[in-house]
Structure 1
Amino acid sequence: MTVLPKGANAAVAAPSVQAVLGWTAGAGAPDVDVSALLLTADGKVRSDGDFVFYNAPRHASGAVSHAGKQPAAAGPVTDAVAVDLPAIEPAIDRIALAASTDGEPIGRVPGLHLRILDQATGAELIRFDDMRADTETAFVLGEFYRRGGAWKFRAVGQGWDSGLAGLATDFGISVDEPAAPQASAALPTPPALPAPAGAPVSLTKAEKLVRLEKTLADRGDQHLLDLTKRAAMSLSKRGLGEHTARVAICLDISGSMGGLYRAGKIQALAERVLALGMRFDDDSSIDCFLFGANSHTAGAMTLDNYRTHLSEVLRRHALEGGTYYGKALTRIREHYFGSAGPRSGPHSGPPVYVMFITDGATFDKDVTRAQIQSSSYEPMFIQFMGIGEAPARGGGFLRRSRGGGEFTFLEELDDMPGRFLDNTDFFAVADPLEMSDDALFDLLMTEYPGWLTQAGARGITS
């Protein structure tokens, strides 16, 4: 059995499970209802039928059902949802588990905890106790999500002050009866994740973000302004609206990438990463790195040069034969931490978010593994993105194996054991322009918030 802290994840070791929410009944203790939302890649339901709760207890596919509440006059109470993971439709990317009360703060519910049980044996697979609920009246407890052909579970612990109606509306569900009138009912805002030590949310940061949007508006750059606003929406949902971090983009310049560069697809992708960087980095820029047979530092992409920077860099660095992840990771670690040597103890500093983009397998797997292992002690999170033909399924991106293809090694790195912290994530796309901006920004933030929480707790972010 795995006990998860907030933000952490674990593999789900059974095909059919029950998610059982438990708490202690007693005088004055709020009652709680559990529900499930079947979400597509854009984080929304397809229709109201994807919302499973006490008034709609079974999904049309039969894959998710409300198992019902087991009340008690005093002592433990449970409410549960049953999930048959192999039966989940391909269009569904994740299943959010939620809890709600009838207007009373969830923080007043004593002994609140979530257990994931093997449906066949009743064995407890995963437990989540550290929810930190406060004034919220609706709460996302956790989520099942696809990864590498299997399912994983992440402990989320974020909520809304506007009850079940507010939560449902935020996930795209039509609600007939509005929530009780309050300022937060129209636009529910999740509570912020704990800020990394040494990087408190401040008015100065907020003022810089306002100034950034004004600068873009004054320049008439509606495209980048829209991108930064979409990035802001995704970050705010995760409590990272005023988070500060360095952002880097690391681009494969092997010969096979040529068509993607010529079609402008990597330029468009880099602009989306820049939008994220402009929210995170007070310098409103991202650091650029290139790799093929060798690795290169390629300066910063900024508000002033973003339309031409990539093309100018590619004039200086022609496409190369070969793909070496390890060389790129070595250069990035040297750039931010002064050394790329072996590390076996925590190294503290400001967080660095690296977007690592490739279309093929590396030639230096052992070097890459060693670099990932050492980087897990550093304040660096690496988001790998593979570009290649996706298998037949709904949507333009995938979270599962390509059956021994180019990205098998990236899937290995995503779940690589023995690290100080899990500091990598991976997804692949058939075409980087097929995804909406919102879907991409949500993917980029799938595991980073959980890593931030753990990195702060273990002293590697400052």
Structure 2
Amino acid sequence: MVHVLTRGGNVGLAQAGLTGPVVVTLTWTPAPGVDADLSAFLTTGAGKVRSDDDFVFYNQPSAAGGAVRHLGRSARGGATVDQVRIDPAALPPDVEKVVIGASLDGAGTFGGLSGLAVEVGPEGGPAAVRCELAAGPETALVFAEVYRRGPEWKVRAVGQGFTNGLAGMATDVGVSVDDEPAPAAPQAAAPPPAAPPVSTPPVSTEKRRLVDLEKKLATTAPQMLSLVKTAGVSLEKRGLGEHTARVALVLDISGSMAALYRAGAVQRLAERVLALGLRFDDDGVVDVFLFGKHVHRPEPGLRLEGHQQYIADLTQQYRLEYDTRYGAAMAAVRAAYFGDSRERVEPQPAQVPVYVMFLTDGAPSDKSVATRQIRSASFEPVFWQFMGIGPERQFSFLQRLDDLEGRYTDNADFFAVAQDDLMGRRPISDDALFDRLMTEYPDWLRRARDRGLLLR
């Protein structure tokens, strides 16, 4: 028997035959450009979360030691389902309610989604409770809540809507959400128009991800939060505030780099590249490639967890080598992202661009190979940011790559810094470094779209 609840209706879990963990399932049929994301909030008797850790969603998939766990989205026939598992017996005594809601991913309203339904059932079993709710102009909606009433756990159909999306729903239960900046006062003369944004993902999705990222960093890695915010300022100036890209860090491990690794210069740069990776990349991982005589790809890549010791751990695992082969490293990067490193004469488009930070302290031994690689890579949506550590005069080859003719599109930039710029008494500031890393990338993105290298 399925218990059908309308708005405000409730039923005991035991009465519905649910005596263990339950799975709450949201079902809908996506509309063009509109999708939904399920969330859960663990609240006290006052109806508020104890902290932001009580917010369960796709990027923070569990709370209370796993008592509430986001199971993710999947397809079911022509519909989409998003699920959360709740184990009432495992919830802390001060959690009296689990609020189940969803917000829209993309433009539109919940009224524009068909087949909208919420079901509650046992793990792996059929629905025992179904909540039937009407939707209209809402962009976020609380569908149901699993709550404690004395010794009993019950489920209620709610139907509380919000027209200000996830922020409104989350704020209602006490999750802190960064305020939007206030609109500027009117000026006598309108400022010149900003550069057109080059970001491509839906604003609501990416903005929410960045808010969630900053909340996580505030408690787990405050120093990295500062770098991510500094990177964000540089990106916003260039219309890249909500841009998505894959990020790679290519590191020279030739013997001449030894002093730079010991001094911490490479670690400092790696942390700045990680800040870009956390801003740009959905999975928050920077893919790492090492090159000397050979090319290596350490797994896992550079990520927030363990980032402070990442370079030190690499140098323990990989010995410095006696050669410097740019071309081999570039071939490995191209093969990793585009399937092979062969010479190309036609565009190879993709959905998401790749930003490559390439660090070295000298010229390569395979110049002809590197030249062919950068020319072939110009047919792919990959941008090469070369950075030399040392006097600029010793990087004439990188300057030639930067200015190389015969490419499908200009796909590289180069600048040099001294070791003192990274680790000296007055090092280059983080905002200045991020500005240099973004000098040519925005213009390359526009060219790449114009030339059909990017599909969105």
**TM bucket, shorter chain:** 0.5 to 0.7
- Structure 2: any 5+ residue segments left out of the alignment? 1-182
Distance 1:388 1:374 in 2: 28
Query: Aligned match of 2:194 in 191, 194, 198?
Result: 191
Distance 2:331 2:308 in 1: 28
One-letter code aligned to 1:193: P
Distance 1:436 1:265 in 2: 14
Give the TM-score normalised by the residue count of structure 2: 0.56
One-letter code aligned to 2:429: S
Contact 2:228/2:278, CA 8 A, preserved across alignment: yes
Secondary structure of the residue aligned to 1:461 is coil
Contact 1:190/1:239, CA 8 A, preserved across alignment: no
Query: Aligned match of 1:374 in 373, 376, 379?
Result: 376
Query: Aligned match of 1:387 in 389, 398, 402?
Result: 389
2:450 alignment partner in structure 1: 457
Distance 2:330 2:379 in 1: 14
One-letter code aligned to 1:224: M
Distance 2:224 2:332 in 1: 29
Contact 1:194/1:453, CA 8 A, preserved across alignment: no
- Structure 1: any 5+ residue segments left out of the alignment? 1-179, 390-400
1:446 alignment partner in structure 2: 439
Distance 1:233 1:252 in 2: 29
- After TM superposition, give the deviation of residue 298 of structure 1 in Å: 1.7
1:416 alignment partner in structure 2: 404
- After TM superposition, give the deviation of residue 284 of structure 1 in Å: 1.4
Residues 369, 184 of structure 1: CA spacing in aligned structure 2 closer, same or farther, 3 A cutoff? farther
Residues 440, 189 of structure 1: CA spacing in aligned structure 2 closer, same or farther, 3 A cutoff? farther
Residues 268, 181 of structure 1: CA spacing in aligned structure 2 closer, same or farther, 3 A cutoff? closer
Contact 1:333/1:375, CA 8 A, preserved across alignment: yes
**Based on CA coordinates, which of the two structures has the bigger radius of gyration?**
2
2:278 alignment partner in structure 1: 278
Contact 2:267/2:310, CA 8 A, preserved across alignment: no
Contact 1:189/1:237, CA 8 A, preserved across alignment: no
> How many percent of aligned residue pairs carry the same amino acid?
53
* Higher RCO, Cα 8 Å, sep 6+: 1
Distance 1:189 1:218 in 2: 39
How do 1:52-63 residues align onto structure 2 when only pairs under 5 Å count? Answer: none
- After TM superposition, give the deviation of residue 201 of structure 1 in Å: 3.7
One-letter code aligned to 1:363: S
Distance 2:353 2:202 in 1: 15
Secondary structure of the residue aligned to 1:298 is coil
Contact 1:251/1:290, CA 8 A, preserved across alignment: yes
Contact 1:192/1:240, CA 8 A, preserved across alignment: no
How do 1:69-218 residues align onto structure 2 when only pairs under 5 Å count? Answer: 182=185, 191=194, 193-195=196-198, 199-218=200-219
CA root-mean-square deviation: 2.0
- Confirm or deny that 1:428 pairs with 2:416: yes
Distance 1:355 1:194 in 2: 22
- After TM superposition, give the deviation of residue 189 of structure 1 in Å: 10
- After TM superposition, give the deviation of residue 183 of structure 1 in Å: 6.5
Contact 1:384/1:425, CA 8 A, preserved across alignment: yes
Residues 416, 215 of structure 1: CA spacing in aligned structure 2 closer, same or farther, 3 A cutoff? same
1:361 alignment partner in structure 2: 363
Distance 2:405 2:380 in 1: 16
- After TM superposition, give the deviation of residue 416 of structure 1 in Å: 0.1
Secondary structure of the residue aligned to 2:355 is strand
Distance 2:193 2:337 in 1: 32
Question: Which is helix-richer, 1 or 2?
Answer: 2
Q: How many residues align?
A: 264
Distance 1:288 1:183 in 2: 47
Distance 1:255 1:417 in 2: 32
